[in-house]
Amino acid sequence: MTESAVDDFPSEADMGSDVLVTADKLTKHFPVYGSGVVRRAVAQVRAVDQVSLTIRKGRTLGLVGETGCGKSTLARCIAGLIPVTSGKVYFEGRDITNLSRRAMQPFRREIQMIFQDPYGSLNPRRRVGAIIGDPFAVHKTSTGAERKRAVQDLMARVGLNPEHYNRFPAEFSGGQRQRIGVARALALRPKLIICDEPVSALDVSIQAQVLNLLADLQDDFGLSYLFIAHDLEVVRHVSDAVTVMYLGRVAEYGPGDAVYDHPRHPYSAALLSAAPAADPDSAAQRQRVLLTGDVPSPINPPSGCRFHPRCPKARDLCATADPPLETKAGDPAAHLTACHYPVQEGEILARAGRREHR
């Protein structure tokens, strides 16, 4: 988005008090090193480029996009796990961008993560009690019997048998392991839990259980979630607001129903049309928007609108001017789209996109 578009960002002015986390023009570039003798950055992977978003207290912000669009990188920047190239992250109005480990420590208690892989995110050589008790050990909040009781309470809360305290992760199923991950994230009573594809690795029936657990916990503890997934229906189910990302940029942001029912960005429309519909009658009526070509390399992203080489509506302007993220005519104020020629109601986008002309 352009400089002016940031001023349009709705959260700061009208809803300042219930904002938990703000990312302001967050950018993360990863250097690509050449093969020479001297390590020298020859290029930058623009994983996240000028992304702004807002997470509200007690709400869920969904983040969707293809693999490699920068969702997880954005999450790790917000969680302070990787340094940010530029831009700012605010937690309850305080700047937490690139804090030292020590300075970040109080915010670690407020921001926790649930990871995608229930097998990879639990140390196979440590007992479940030790894994869930880790947050207490790191933050030195309780010891001995007190910690054990707290851990067993957490296990009961997420639907695990507290007697399994001394078991190893390998003795649990995928769904149970993800519950262990949830219990660990919950231990310090954080305000924000970043869920990085928390159900992608699970069976559909288990997905529902974990999603319901997360919803219950949100009600009980007033949690906020940043919920990353590539399953669009899951995101719609859990999210109050949805951000659609494409190649390190925000393509569209808005309330879940607005984005899902009236997508304005051609990419969102294509993405949503690709999701299978549960109702066969409506499925027959739907138009699939077929995109051609692959996602361009984030090392050398397209000029102007990053989606233009694949966009069925692209015109000359799209190749030169970067569209601002703004409210389009006829949309609610909270619905933002970064497109010069947004999709109109009833418009048929089914025409195959142009071949990449770059």
Binding site for other proteins (CB under 8 A): 35-37, 39, 79, 81, 101, 104-105, 108-109, 111-113, 115-117, 120-128, 134-135, 138-139, 161, 163-168, 171, 181, 184
Least separation in angstroms between residue 169's CB and other proteins is 9
Which single residue is written with the structure tokens 């027959």?
A: 284
3-state secondary structure of 27: strand
Nearer to other proteins by C-beta: 75 or 318? 75
| Between 29 and 184, CB nearer to other proteins | 184
Least distance from C-beta 33 to other proteins, angstroms? 8
Cα separation of 338 and 52, whole Å? 12
Task: Pick the closer one to other proteins by CB: 66 or 134.
Answer: 134
DSSP secondary-structure letter at 304?
S
Least separation, in Å, of the C-beta of 110 and other proteins?
Answer: 11
| Closer CB to other proteins, 37 or 204, in the complex | 37
Alpha helices by DSSP H, listed for 41-93, are 71-78
- 111 vs 349, which CB is nearer to other proteins? 111
Closest by CA position to 265, among listed 341, 322, 331: 341
**In angstroms, what is the minimal distance from the CB of 181 to other proteins?**
8
Distance CA 341, CA 285 (A): 24
CB 10 within 8 Å of CB 182 = no
DSSP code of residue 294: P
Nearer to other proteins, 166 or 212 (CB): 166
**Alpha-carbon dihedral angle through residues 60, 257, 332, 241, given to the nearest 10 degrees:** 10
Q: How far is the CB of 36 from other proteins (least distance, A)?
A: 7
User: How far apart are the C-alpha atoms of 22 and 114, rounded to whole Å?
Assistant: 20
Which is nearer to other proteins, 185 or 291 (by Cβ)? 185
In the complex, the smallest distance separating the C-beta of residue 338 from other proteins, rounded to whole angstroms, is 30
Specify the residue, 15 or 138, whose C-beta has the smaller distance to other proteins: 138
What's the CA gap between 314 and 348, in Å, rounded?
14
Question: For residue 254, which of 79, 44, 14, 10 has the smallest C-alpha distance?
Answer: 10
Q: How far is the C-alpha of 198 from the C-alpha of 181, rounded, in Å?
A: 9
Residues 6+ apart with CB under 8 A from 231: 199, 200
Q: Give the relative orientation of helices 144-157 and 128-139 as an angle to the nearest 10 degrees.
A: 120
